[in-house]
Amino acid sequence: MITVVGSINLDIVATGPKLPRPGETVTGAKLARHPGGKGANQALAARRLGADVRLVGAVGADEMAGEALKLLQAGGVDLSSVQHVNGETTGVALIAVSMDGENQIVVCPGANAVLRPADVEFVETEHMMGVLEVSADTLLAAARKATGFVSLNLAPAMEVPEELLAEADLISVNETEAAFYGGALHQLEACIAISLGSEGATLWRKGKEIARATPPKVTVVDTVGAGDTFTAALTVGLIEGQSPQEALAFAVAAGAVACTRPGAQPSLPKRLDLDPYL
């Protein structure tokens, strides 16, 4: 069982001809609403790839909560540790997507910001995944309870306690996040995965590259959720006992397939979807 500790959002997506520059208004966009949040995305991605998954998170006691949890519930993610918090809104991500699939995202955390260490105290945790859209203290409490594999996605980039980093077996970042953290990541005991967008990804240990994978050719529709799919797939692969190279290729293929459909959670691939690309 993988316990994911992370954010739950409702994504409000505007897809238009181009992304706006500062101060610019772009019209002609189409509006859609999808369940999202990096924690929820990774939980559902891992579940669709075959893992048993529990999500620890928080939503508001509002009309958006059911919409945000709908695909998780339908997908078989254990939601018994998700709180409905009075006086808080469900988290919302405002997403602009261009016709070539690039995006800009503004997140309103809402109930995600009130998840606390006490909320994981009585959650039985074997393997654990965490994202930085909830407090580092809560992630640390969960990581310390984990008896198995600990995967941390250091997104969005921010200062992170050394105690949390020391608990990780796998740390995943994209190029921008890797630049923020710098060489300090390579001093850790954890494997470091760096996703490189259309160029694929690399996997490092103690400053030495141990695996590299390039993505299959796909038609990109929307890159939202691709990074979460990559992180979840890599974690699932390593937990299953795949070699670093096998797990990285599996993760890169999963992330690429997620780019072929619109929306974060609606785009998450199932295991069989990956077979033609592996």
Q: Look up residue 276 and give its DSSP letter.
A: G
Is the omega angle on the peptide bond into residue 161 within 30 degrees of 0, that is, cis?
Answer: no
Who's near 272: CB < 8 A, 6+ residues apart? none
Neighbours of 214 (CB within 10 A): 14
Catalytic annotation present for 169: no
Asked whether the beta carbons of 134 and 115 are under 8 A apart, the reply is yes
Distance CA(189)–CA(206), nearest Å, equals: 7
* DSSP assignment string, 185-248: GGGSSSEEEEE-GGG-EEEEETTEEEEEE-PPP---S--TTHHHHHHHHHHHHHHTT--HHHHH
Who's near 4: CB < 8 A, 6+ residues apart? 39, 42, 43, 46, 53, 54, 55, 56, 57, 128, 129, 130
User: 169, 222, 228, 275: which one is catalytic?
Assistant: 228
Distance CA(223)–CA(95), nearest Å, equals: 11
Residues annotated as catalytic are 228
